[in-house]
Amino acid sequence: METSFNEELLKTNQIEVTCKQCGAKLVYAPGTTKLKCEYCGTENEIHIEPTIIEEMDYVQFIHKHRDTLPKHQISTVRCNACGAQTTLENNVVSELCPFCGSVLIVKNTEIQNVIKPWSILPFKIDAKKAFEHFQKWLSKLWFAPNDLKKYATQQKQLKGMYIPYWTYDSQTITRYHGMRGDDYTTTETYTTVQNGKTVTKTRTVVRTRWTPVSGTVYVNFDDVLVIASKSLPLKYTNKLEPWNLHELLPFDEKFLSGFRTETYQIDVKEGFEIGKEKMNNIIRQAIRQDIGGDHQQITSMNVQYNNITFKHILLPIWISAYRYKKKVYRFLVNGQTGKVQGERPYSWIKIMLAILLTIAIIGIIVYFAK
């Protein structure tokens, strides 16, 4: 659906709301719709307007309204090591990059005008709960270096980040050509040598009969999710899914209080190209089902994308970046479900000791078995 294109410019870095009781900063309390004072416990309700989260017409945006979409102005710092651009809390003078663990040069801040998010999925689990999931995940890692195990006692290593995503809707019509393979059994004769003599035998074999096919499939897509960040490994962010996007709320900067955000590095047009690949994988499945038979080959497919809409959203992820021998390992916790994904280094010393111990045990068993 088409939305309003009035220019909106909000000059802000990280919203800061102070406690009326003690003057301390209020931060968003995960799993609620409240801002909470960490010192005296005062809570302020975040007023949420009953607003329908509408999506924007993609074609109109690309050709007419790209420069008039509501934006907000934020101050970000770029990491010289991994290139991530993130916000910082006010008055921070020293910080590590949550994506790679490098020291951020806070003076290298820049002001950016970025598309204002439509909606936000607030953190549902807090740092303590996320860290419990993280500890459980770490405890299952075999042959991990001792440095890594130290993370099991350092909750401060986890950083709450709102990561930018695009979602796309589209109705698709796909015309295809391919081949349908149907298996059938037949009997064939063959010769073999048996007891020094050549004999003729029969056997049943499975063969495939191929038939040219063509057709049309119709597949509708809703909320195809594309991460707009290049700072996190896709194979892990994809495994953080599924997200319950029905819990999305209209964007309110108060949800950002106490957390950090990353600006998008993939724009809406590039994001749609990535989204089309996701759609095409599902379309291929629909084509194979439409072809039927025991085997399918798709020789060509012509996809038409209609009624394309999109929206810009922020999703919550707890992130910990770990440097080990000059290589970065990232650990991610879904801020809604607690699902953990991540990279891990191996301790080759522990692996070699385990191999030597195994060899020693086998040697002892063999020795006493004689």
DSSP per-residue letters across 136-185: HHHHT-TT--HHHHGGGG-GGG-EEEEEEEEEEEEEEEEEEEEEEEEEEE
When divided into structural domains, the chain yields a total of: 1
- Does position 35 have pLDDT exceeding 70, yes or no? yes
What pLDDT is stored for residue 9 in this prediction? 32
What pLDDT is stored for residue 208 in this prediction? 95
Within-domain flag for 182: no
Calculate ∠ Cα 292-279-215, nearest 5°.
Answer: 35
Backbone angles phi, psi at 108, to 5 degrees: -85, 50
Within-domain flag for 201: no
- Does position 90 have pLDDT exceeding 90, yes or no? no
Query: Where does the pLDDT of residue 142 fall: very low under 50, low under 70, confident under 90, or very high at 90 and above?
Result: low
pLDDT tens for 285-302 read 999 999 999 999 999 999
Within-domain flag for 9: no
Half-sphere exposure of 314 (CA within 13 A, CB side): 26
Summarize the confidence of residues 206-217 as an average pLDDT: 96
What pLDDT is stored for residue 6 in this prediction? 34
Within-domain flag for 283: yes
Distance of CA 136 to the CA centre of its chain: 21
**1-5, 76-80, 87-91, 203-207 — which one is most confidently predicted on average?**
203-207
Query: Where does the pLDDT of residue 58 fall: very low under 50, low under 70, confident under 90, or very high at 90 and above?
Result: very high
Within-domain flag for 103: yes
What pLDDT is stored for residue 47 in this prediction? 84
Range with the lowest mean pLDDT among 97-101, 106-110, 295-299? 106-110
Query: Where does the pLDDT of residue 141 fall: very low under 50, low under 70, confident under 90, or very high at 90 and above?
Result: low
Range with the lowest mean pLDDT among 88-92, 157-161, 249-253? 88-92
What are the residues facing 340 on neighbouring strands? 333
Backbone angles phi, psi at 273, to 5 degrees: -65, -40
- Does position 49 have pLDDT exceeding 80, yes or no? no
Cα 253 to Cα 315: distance, rounded to the nearest angstrom: 13
Cα 38 to Cα 228: distance, rounded to the nearest angstrom: 32
What pLDDT is stored for residue 68 in this prediction? 61
Sequence-separated (6 or more) residues with CB below 8 Å from residue 92:
106
What pLDDT is stored for residue 3 in this prediction? 39
What pLDDT is stored for residue 145 in this prediction? 63
Within-domain flag for 3: no
* Residue 29 burial by Cβ neighbours in a 10 Å radius (0-12, 13-18, 19+): buried
Query: Where does the pLDDT of residue 112 fall: very low under 50, low under 70, confident under 90, or very high at 90 and above?
Result: low
The rounded percent of the chain whose pLDDT value lies above 70 is 77
- Residues of the domain holding 291: 17-176+212-355
Query: Where does the pLDDT of residue 4 fall: very low under 50, low under 70, confident under 90, or very high at 90 and above?
Result: very low
What pLDDT is stored for residue 8 in this prediction? 35
* Residue 186 burial by Cβ neighbours in a 10 Å radius (0-12, 13-18, 19+): exposed
- Does position 10 have pLDDT exceeding 50, yes or no? no
What pLDDT is stored for residue 226 in this prediction? 96
Range with the lowest mean pLDDT among 107-116, 171-180, 259-268? 107-116
CA distances from 164 to 12, 117, 229, 260, 342 (A): 17, 8, 7, 11, 19
**89-103, 133-147, 206-220, 241-255 — which one is most confidently predicted on average?**
206-220
Q: What is the pTM of this model?
A: 0.79
What pLDDT is stored for residue 175 in this prediction? 98
Within-domain flag for 153: yes
Summarize the confidence of residues 199-217 as an average pLDDT: 94
Within-domain flag for 360: no
- Does position 12 have pLDDT exceeding 70, yes or no? no
Query: Where does the pLDDT of residue 85 fall: very low under 50, low under 70, confident under 90, or very high at 90 and above?
Result: confident
